[in-house]
Structure 1
Amino acid sequence: MPRAGGVYSAPPGTKGTPNTPIESAKYNALVDDLVADANAARPLTSGGSGSSTAVGAADNFNAAGADMASAATVNLANTTGTLVNITGTVPITALGTLPAGAERDLVFQGVLTFTHNATSLILPGGANITTAAGDVARMRSLGGGNWRCVGYTRANGTPLAIAASSTIVTPTLTLKQSAAPTPTAEGDIQWDTDDNVLVVGDGAAQQIFVPLPSGAVAGDLLYLSGAKAYTRIPKGTAAQQLRMNAGATAPEWFTPDTSGIAKAWVSFTVSGSTVTVRKSFNVSSVVRNASMDYTINFTNAMADVNYAVAGASKPQAATEAWGVAPFSVASLLVGSVRVITKPAGVSGDAEFVSVVIYD
C-alpha cells in the first residue's frame, strides 16, 4: 500500500489468525507490497530522499519553505524548507538553534538590519548589513544557537562594503588592454598600450587619464604635446615670464628686458610741511627735508647708483605752469634719491611734484 505521511501500513487482512491456515493470496499480497515499497523511493519523512535520482534527491533536500516574518529571533529550526523568504523590516539579531553544519538560504523581501555578533551571528566584514529586497544570505549553523554567514549576494550585484581596517591580500589588478580601447560602459577602465593612458567609459564616450611625466615636482608646468601626452616644463626662476617659442610649438620661460621700464615713480603734493603721496610705485615714503627739498625712499633698492632721474613740478601759484627747470638731484643712493625743485621766481614748495626713476 502507498505510505501515508511516510508511514508504511500492511495490506488489509494480512495478519494471521491463530489456528487458522494462512491464505496464500493474502500472504503473497503482503510480500508483493513489501517488495514494491522496498524498491520505491523512500519519502523524506522515512529517512529517504523522496526520489530515485540524485538530482531529484538534491531538489527534495533543498526545497523552498514557507515565508518567515522578520523578528529579533528568526528561529530557523521552524522552517519548512532550506530556502526561506524573510518578510518584514524588524532587525534580526539571532536565528535560533540547529545542529552544527545545517544551512539555510535566506531571501530578504525588504530593508532591515541584519545585526553582526562576533559569536552568535557572524557576518562578512564584521559589521551590520542593511538588507535590500532580493538580497540572499547563506547561513551555516555552528551549533548552540551560533551562526556564520558563509555567503551574501546583493540583488544589485554590488559587493558588501570593505571595512576600513581590511587588508587586500592579493593587490594585483590587471586591466583590459588594447592599442586603441574605446569603452563606453560607465566605469569600464581599460589601458591604452599605444599611448600608455587610462581610458574610462562614461556611459556614452570615454574620459582619458594621462600619467604625469617622470621627474615632475611642485611648481612645474605641464602642457599637451599630443592628444594623450603631457610634457613637463621645469618651474622657472623669479620674474621669468611664459611665452610661445619661436616655432610656435611649445611654451617656454624667458626673462623679459626691463631696461626701458620705470623702476620707481611717485606723484606727491606738499601743503605747508606735509607731504601726501598721491600715487606711487616702489616708493615707501617721501620726506620733506626743507622747502623744495625732498628725499624719496624706495621700497626695493636700485641695483646701483647709476640710475636716471626725471621729474617735473607745479608751483603753488595758480598762475604758474608745470616746469622742469630747475630740477636738480642732490644725491643718488641705492635706497633713495634726494631732489630739489626750484622753478624760476618761486620761493616756496611746489604744489605737485612727479619723479620717475629708470635703472
Structure 2
Amino acid sequence: MSRKRCTIVNFLSYRERCLGALVGVLGLLSLHCSSSPSGNDQPQEPGPPDSPENPDPSTGDPTRLIGAFQVRSLPAAASEEGGAEAAGTSSLLGKIYDGPTPSQIVWEEKTVEGGCRLLTPRVPFCNEPCGGSAVCVEDDTCQPYPTAHSAGPVTATGLNIESGEASFVMNPVANNYQPPAGAKLLYPPADEGQTVRFEASGDYFSAFAVEAKGVRPLELQGGAVLLDPNQAVTLEWTPPGQAGISTIEVTLDISHHGGTKGKIECAVEDTGSLELPASLVTQLLDLGVAGFPSILVTRKAVGSTTIAQGRVDLVISSQVERPVEIAGLTSCHDDSECPDGQTCQRDLTCQ
C-alpha cells in the first residue's frame, strides 16, 4: 500500500484539515485529546464580567484558550525507498487572538473506554449565513472569528539554538511569532526536563511569561498499524527518561480523505504503551474508511498562563505519524495504483 499523503479532500475533510491547522496553533491537538475524565476540556466562553463564574475579569478565564506557542519536533524517519534516515526537524510558531477560535465541526463523544474515546462529527446548520467573519458553531448560532494581536517582542530561553546562544527575541510579523533569522532550532529543540520560558514584553496584550519542560523525542516502535475488527491495537514507545513531564495523545482517523466519519482520540500517561480497545476499533471501522488512513502519536508537555483575555499555552511536543493498514483496503492516487478491474475513487480507495 502506498504511504504517500494526498491533498485531494472533499468539502468536509478540507474544512477539518484547515481548522485542524489553526487549532494546532492554538494548542488544541491535531487531531486534540482530553486529559480530563469527562473529556470536556475545550475552551469555553467566560461569563459576563459581573457573573459568579468570572467575578474579576482582569484576571482572565483559564478555560478560555486564546493562543499558544507551539514548539514541535518530528523525529527522523526512514525514507520510503529504505534509504538513510532523514534528519529530525524542529519548528516554532506562536499566535494570540482576542478570543477563542470557533470550529465548523462539532465532535460528539459516542463511547469512552480506557483513556480513549470515539468521536463522530456533526456540522451545524444556520438558516442565516454567518458570512466570512463568523462561523456556524451550533444550529442557527454564529460565532465571530477572533483577531490576532501583538504581545510585543517575546524572548525565548531554554531552547537548543544552532548558534549556541542562550536566548533569542521574536518580534511579531503580521502578529505571528517565529524564530528570527540566525536562530535556527536544533533537533531536539529542548533537552528533556529543560525549562523553556517565553516572556512577552506586552503590547495589545499585557506582558506575561509562560514556561514548559522539554520532552524526549518520541520513538514509536513497529511500522504500519494493523486494524482488524474485534482486535485491540497495542502501541509501544520508548518511555521518557523523566517521569511526570509529558503525556501521550493519540488520534486515529481512517476516513479523513473521504469526508471524516469518526476518529479515536486518547490522552494517557507517558508509560511506554497503550492499548486501543477492540470495541472502539470495531466501531470506528463500522463507520467507514477512506484511502491513506493514519495514526498520529504525540508526546507533549504544556505550560499555561492567564491574561485578561484568557489562557495562553506553551506546548512542547514530539510527533510521529504512521500509516494504517486495513484488510481489503487499497489506497490510491490514480487508477494505475489499483488492481486490474478496479479504479481509484474520489475517497482515494480502489474499487
Q: Normalising by structure 2, report the TM-score.
A: 0.18
Task: Pick the structure with greater CA Rg.
Answer: 1
Q: Which has the higher contact order (CA 8 A, sep 6+)?
A: 2
